[in-house]
Structure 1
Amino acid sequence: MLYPINEIFHSLQGEGFYSGVPAIFIRFQGCSVGCQWCDTKYTWKQLSNKMGLLKDILLKSKVSNIWSYLDCMTVLSTIVQKEWNANHIVITGGEPSMHDLRPLTIFLEKNGFYCQLETSGTYAINCSEKTWVTVSPKLDLKSDNKTLMKSLIRSDEIKYLVNSELDIEILDKLLLNINDDKKRIISLQPISCNSIATNICIKNCLARNWKLSIQIHRYLNIR
Structure 2
Amino acid sequence: MRYPVNEIFETLQGEGRFTGLPAIFVRLQGCPVGCSWCDTKHTWEQQPQDERPLGDILVKTAASSCWAWATPEAMLATFAERGFNAKLVVITGGEPCMFDLVPLCEALHGAGYSTQIETSGTFEIKVPKETVITLSPKVGMKGGYAILDSALERADDIKHPVARERDIEELDALLARCGEKPVYLQPVSQGKRATELCIKTCIERNWRLSVQLHKYLGIE
**What range is the shorter-chain TM-score in?**
over 0.9
Q: Is the 8 A contact 2:76 2:108 kept in 1?
A: yes
Worse overlay, 50-59 or 139-148: 139-148
Shift, 1:143, TM fit: 3.5
Structure-1 residue corresponding to 2:182 = 185
Matched, 1:131 2:128: no
Cα drift, residue 206 of structure 1? 1.1
Runs (5+) with no aligned partner, structure 2: none
Whether 2:53 is the aligned partner of 1:53: answer yes
Q: TM-score, normalised by structure 1?
A: 0.96
How does 1:78-93 map onto structure 2 within 5 Å?
78-93=78-93
Amino acid paired to 1:97? C
Instruction: Percent identity, please.
Output: 48
CA distance in 2, matches of 1:132, 1:58: 25
Q: Secondary structure at the match of 1:177?
A: helix
- Whether the 8 Å CA contact 2:34–2:142 is kept in 1: the answer is no
Q: Which runs of 4+ in 1 moved over 6 A?
A: none
Q: What is the aligned-residue RMSD (CA, Å)?
A: 1.0
- For structure 1, the residue ranges without an aligned partner over 5 or more in a row are none
TM-score normalised by L of structure 2: 0.98
Q: Partner letter of residue 201 of structure 1?
A: C
Where do 1:4-153 residues align within 5 Å? 4-153=4-153
Per the TM alignment, residue 167 of structure 1 is displaced from its structure 2 partner at its CA by 1.2
CA deviation map 1:110-133 (0-9, x unaligned): 110000000001000001110000
Aligned position for 2:209: 212
Aligned partners of 1:176, 1:18: CA distance in 2, in Å? 25
CA contact 1:72–1:104 (8 Å) conserved in 2: yes
Q: How many residues are treated as equivalent by the alignment?
A: 220
